[in-house]
Structure 1
Amino acid sequence: MKVEEKGHTITIKDTQGDIATFLEKVTSGYVGFKEHNIIIDLTQYNTLTLQEVVSFLSLSNKHREAKKSFVIVVNDFDFNEAPDEMVIVPTLLEAHDMIEMEEIERDLGF
């Protein structure tokens, strides 16, 4: 697992190639990340199933309840299949843009 901090955002990337193990590591290390916005970078996976992406839903909901952004980056994915409460984008640039927009919305009280 590779963790990169940039300002108020932490990007977490899997280095093992096993989505279930990666989710366990992120969940167990969550205490260290909870004060930051989180980007989960899954771009190294060529194909992911809906079930694999949705496995991050409970962590995403927990983080969003704490008024922080949680964005998943996936290359080749049908974004229409994902639950509405999950934020899934195709690039890291879009993930950072989404967090910036959510920060502005929170600052404005939306």
Structure 2
Amino acid sequence: MVGIDIVQISRISGLREKFGEKFLRRVFCDDEIALIKSDETLAGFFAAKEAFSKALGTGIGSECGFLDIKIAKTPKGAPFFEISSNLKTKFNIKNSALSISHDGNFAIAAVILEIGDI
């Protein structure tokens, strides 16, 4: 399953400016917040979570929440998902792949999920 999301960086940074810590804590865990060093990263991480939920076919909501999906980085800086055990089991997620990019005023994320038999 594939999911893609693109966001305007200024829209996401505007949410952080307007709602501050409340916005960050609603969408990201402490480990993710520690990785966010720029508005581009913030927007890319947001797009990644949206793309993940689109790959599931659910969107962000009751079946898949922002905090069910954690973004981490490899020692070389490549992003990857740490998925809650509840979500893995519910959707039989076997593997995932993530790519995030940003340029100009936009951030984009592409997600591929390998789903086993349900």
Determine if the TM-score, normalized by the shorter chain, exceeds 0.5. Answer: no
TM-score (norm 2): 0.29
Higher relative contact order (CA 8 A, sep 6+): 2
Whose radius of gyration is greater, 1 or 2?
A: 2
